[in-house]
Amino acid sequence: MLALVVGHPEIALAQRLGFGHRFRRRGLFLAHAHDGRTGFHQGDRGKTLNGPVFRGAALGAVLILLSGCTGDPPPPPPPSTSVPVTTPTALPEGLQGVPTTGGIGITALLPTTGPTLFDADGGPVATPPGYPGNDLGLSVVRVGKSAVLTAYPAGATSDDPFEILVYTGPSSPPRSLGRAWSVAPAADGASVWVIRQDAPDTCRLQRVSLSGGEFGHGQSASCRTQVRVGTTRGLLITINAGAESTDALIDPESGRTLQQAPRVFGVAGDRMLLDGLTELTLVDLRNGSRKQLSRPVIARTPTVVPSRDGSVWAVDFANPAYRGTSTQTRDLWLLYPDTLTWEHAAAMPFITEHLKRGGGFDWSEDGDLVLADGVLAAWHPGEPQWRLGKAALPTSPWSGFAVLP
């Protein structure tokens, strides 16, 4: 199971596409894995959870590429089997869709100062009590059919871990899970993985139930380890979250590395999606086989959010600086890992004002892709157009959301 991990608008541009946030603490970065990558940091030393970043394979690949820059011109390339590149000349402004008579039936938790339980057609339902406000921001991640929020200093660095809060309902205060540098949903949908700090330079990987109890004693981990998502195949983490980081799928009980790559976009079911120089790679975790996958568009690093059952992955090739301007664009595609095929979501791409704030996407329990862009909108794969909610979303500085249940 994967959950959407969101970021904070003031620091969104520092990550791959602006969905997520991070903080620096003596070189420490925290990112909540909607897309999972962060800025620069020197590597640690030790095993995977505390471990070094090896770049030999990547350097070898670069040298091989450079060695082909001399000599006779290369023969013409074979005919391409990739998906045709989309290069729109005139993009629509705002998400295009149709309102529905009976509404779209979507409720989401928005990480506003509050936060806000929001009905797509009726607007704000409740502002649950007991959450921090003032100079603290919130981010949210869906865990099963619930949600977990992180409270962090808005627009500031922090020397202390962040408070982790479980959403308990529209009229009740949150349940605190203590403090951690990073949090991610576990595979069971009823617990989370966190990076706890036990001493100034001592942290551990710990599983915590949504009721607050800890499982076992955890594993020693670098405080710079970022947990991203727990799956039935292991826990996806980023080691030394920064430009010198690497990603790994580990056995969280032993800390043993199962798979490792410079950049892993996501893991769901039996599949893992890797970045590459030109193409993507889909790894079958059952047997380790790999298949190359052409990108449907020439674009920057995408944000990847698998559906709740892992059968289809939403891949957003968004661009916060379209053609070198201040124009933001969103371009959502669906990847079907079993058939290695792409489907272009309806009404894509389009110009948006909500990459940096007031936006995000998640999956509903019924298999609808839900997008925030001025309103909440739902689209089921194969449908001709988006179904638009009637209520305008809050304009306050928030980003990301969790569809409930």
Domain-wise residue ranges, the chain: 9-52+102-404
How far apart CA 56 and CA 52 sit, in angstroms, is 12
Structure token pair of residue 307: 């559906």
Does the structure show a pLDDT above 90 at 387? yes
Q: What is the rounded average pLDDT of the residues 369-380?
A: 98
pLDDT grade for 103, boundaries at 50, 70 and 90: very high
Does the structure show a pLDDT above 50 at 70? no
| 122-177 pLDDT, tens digit each | 999 999 999 998 788 999 999 999 999 999 987 767 788 999 999 999 999 999 99
Q: What is the pTM of this model?
A: 0.79
Q: Residue type at 69? A: C
Does the structure show a pLDDT above 70 at 302? yes
Structure token pair of residue 102: 């009976």
Highest-pLDDT range among 56-60, 273-277, 283-287: 283-287
Does the structure show a pLDDT above 60 at 297? yes
Is residue 195 within 8 A of residue 182, CB to CB? The reply is: yes
- Whether cis (ω within 30° of 0) applies to the bond prior to 92 is no
How many Cβ atoms sit within 10 Å of the Cβ of residue 24? 16
How far apart CA 90 and CA 333 sit, in angstroms, is 19
How far apart CA 42 and CA 50 sit, in angstroms, is 12
| 303-318 pLDDT, tens digit each | 999 999 999 999 999 9
Q: What is the rounded average pLDDT of the residues 279-285?
A: 96
Compute the mean pLDDT over every residue in the chain, rounded to the nearest whole number. 83
For position 300, what pLDDT does the model report? 78
Label the pairing between strands 246-250 and 226-231.
unpaired
How far apart CA 127 and CA 118 sit, in angstroms, is 9
Q: Considering the domain 9-52+102-404 in this protein, what is its CATH number?
A: 2.130.10.10
For position 28, what pLDDT does the model report? 33
Does the structure show a pLDDT above 90 at 182? yes
71-80, 199-208, 389-398, range with the lowest pLDDT:
71-80
Q: What is the rounded average pLDDT of the residues 183-197?
A: 98
Structure token pair of residue 295: 């990108």
pLDDT grade for 50, boundaries at 50, 70 and 90: low
For position 327, what pLDDT does the model report? 95
Q: What is the rounded average pLDDT of the residues 228-238?
A: 98
16 DSSP assignment:
S
Does the structure show a pLDDT above 80 at 227? yes
Does the structure show a pLDDT above 60 at 6? no
